[in-house]
Structure 1
Amino acid sequence: MTSWRILLADDHLVVRAGLRALLAADPRCRVEGEAAGLDELRTVAHRLRPDLIVLDLSFGADSALDVLPELLANEPSPRIVVLTMHDDVSFAREAFASGVHGYVLKEAAADELLRAVETVMAGSVYVDTELGARMARSRAAPADELSPREREVLALLAAGHTNAEIAQRLSLSLRTVESHRAGLRARLGTTSRAELVAAARRIGLLQ
């Protein structure tokens, strides 16, 4: 029988325990590692070389999106399913742009994660049904539709500041800055910092 070696990454022990129990319902799923933080995730993923990583997006003040390129660079490259509370289209778009293969909300029914795992391991992409519909309806917005706050965040991102530095400068929470960053990428149709820089220059936020 086909089996999948799985790494669970979430900073809450009770969530990892629940996921382990849930995945045990499918005999193809073998949870062989866990990570409670991004440094541990890097280490365990490099050592274990799992077939699949199920991970949350937020680890305290850190974002798992920042380590996706490193995780996907491992050979063989793992499939990645995001399991998160973030139901914002912009977060989902940024996650897929960063290379994830599935996006499931934590509030979803338990069997949805199993469907996502099966779909992703079959080589397809999985996204929460309602969220996928909203993604299909959304569109990239012209730069002149950005709010003043979005322009501030874009200018600071383009200047090379980290999310934490922007949060401190603008007196915002880190999660709010992350949301703005994801929203900017979705609204401007960009997938990289270089494209954000180009967008900021195009609308006159950089010289």
Structure 2
Amino acid sequence: MRRQTVTKAQVFEAADQFVDMGLNPTQNAVIRRVGGSFSTVGRFLEEWRRERRAANENPAVAAPDQLLGAAKNFAEELWSAALDLAAAKFREDQKRLEAEQAALDEDRVDMLNLVRDMENAAAVQESRIFTLDQSHRDAMSNVSVLKDKLAKAQERASVAEARLAEANSRIGELLENVGLAHQRNTDLLQSLLSLRHGRNSPSSRRGNA
């Protein structure tokens, strides 16, 4: 496998980083960091050590106290400005988060109101279904009574054919009305079941939460 090409700048930078961490910049350590071959890294490390020794033997002239003081003051002012900027950003973010939280609270209240409205509507539908069911049972009872009367009328007089035809017509209309009432009852039952299913679905439960 071909070794990765490494530059002198990369080796110098890696060696400085190891020294800053209090570690010895050995060839193996630098190769693990930036790659390269032993010969190339070794040559660059030797040059780095020579330059470092020369720098230690000829230290830079110390800056005047006035210059150091000015640099310190500048650093303190810069740090203070950075803190003020960070504090302002924090206050801005806090206001934004508070506004978002207020909006979420309003949405939650609206959702709760919507759920209550749906529950009230479901209760009304249940009442209507009960009433229609009772009407259906009453209608079926009336049909039974009418059939009994018709049978007795047929037994009592065969001369009442005209009246019997009229009664049969009335019974047909009543049966049609009963069928319509039964269909409406079925539709309302299906609507209620769909509404209850929607309330019990995961999205409804998350909304209730």
TM range (shorter): under 0.3
TM-score (norm 2): 0.20
Larger radius of gyration: 2
TM-score (norm 1): 0.20
Tell me which protein shows more helix as a share of its residues: 2
